[in-house]
Amino acid sequence: MHPSKYAMCFVLPLILLFALSACVQSVDDTASEEAVEGRAIQNKGSDTLVNLALAWAEAYQSVQPDVSIAVTGGGSGTGIAALINGTVDIANASRSMKEEEIAGAQANGFDPVEIRVAIDALAVIVHPDNPVDQLTIQQLSDIYTRRIVNWNEVGGSDAPIVLLSRETNSGTHVYFLEQVVRQGDDENEDIFAPQTLLMPSSVGITSEIRRNPNAIGYDGLGYVTEHEKVLAIAKDENSPYVLPTTETGADGSYPLSRFLFMYTAGEPEGSIAEYIDWIRGPEGQAIVAELGFVPLNEE
């Protein structure tokens, strides 16, 4: 056989092999892209936000049926840690990220982006039979540091005050520590009294309040029910006492109003960006109001 014919016998199969390999690679790439497009958006974090996040996710199914959103709680710190580790797409938080958390994200190759999604008026709650109706931020600080230990020191009955708080991984815990216990003073090093009972969830606080007439706690306004009494709060003794409502949370007259956030690893894109835009739009913010939080359009 002529040498050129031998060459063709070897070259032709190689060409076919490379062509087949390219086709398989193309199919694999297409399947991979479809898998990425079809996967659920992983959303984790703040227990204050979890009911709102679940309601958003459910409503969004009717808007974009091909996009599924998996929502879990666990606390702001848990959600932020998951975002840093790359195991979620969106972290829900009831506080801003700490410097060390931002540094951790940057060490993993991205700058976290903070997105405001709602406003919350943090309610201070007691048992309905408690005669106390109002407190100042200073009195709250003194109560949670045990400088005040009896309800009769703030106009209530002669009974010891039982302190309830969220756990330390909660953004609500951090907010209350910084804005109430430490009264917004960065140099203040006060901490919660050791006697404070740390509750794993908002439900834990409200359940304890219902059964203990001497307890005091705090919770997002959207979680307060008729079984708890909400106290009016003043910045100081010379300021007006204001109850938390959607109106006072929106206009800033209630001193314990705060933003609620979603964080993403860099600027959100694709289905994640579309989802967050929907949350911040009219439909998403209507759900915010329905659940007792303050919509951004009332900011």
Q: Does the pLDDT at position 28 exceed 80?
A: no
pLDDT, residue 226, reads 87
Domains 39-118+259-298 and 120-257 share a fold: yes
Query: What are the backbone angles phi and psi of residue 60, rounded to the nearest 5°?
Result: -70, -20
Q: How far apart are the first and last CA of the chain?
A: 87
Overall pTM > 0.85: no
Give the list of residues 6+ apart from residue 275 with CB closer than 8 angstroms, or none. 41, 60, 64, 67, 69
The pLDDT value recorded for residue 39 is: 66
The answer, yes or no, to whether residue 254 has pLDDT greater than 60, is: yes
Q: What is the pLDDT of residues 35-69, one digit of tens each?
A: 344 568 999 999 999 999 999 999 999 999 999 99
- Which tens digit of pLDDT belongs to each residue from 2-25? 544 444 444 444 444 444 344 434
For 99-109, write each residue's pLDDT tens digit: 999 999 999 99
Any idea which residue has 């972290």 for tokens? 91
| CATH dotted code for 39-118+259-298 | 3.40.190.10
Domain ranges of the chain: 39-118+259-298, 120-257
CA atoms within 13 A on the CB side of 293: 27
Task: Supply the CATH classification number for the domain 120-257.
Answer: 3.40.190.10
User: What is the predicted pLDDT for the residue at 212?
Assistant: 96
| Cα–Cα distance measured from residue 193 to residue 210, given in angstroms and rounded to the nearest whole number | 22
- At 203 the pLDDT is 85
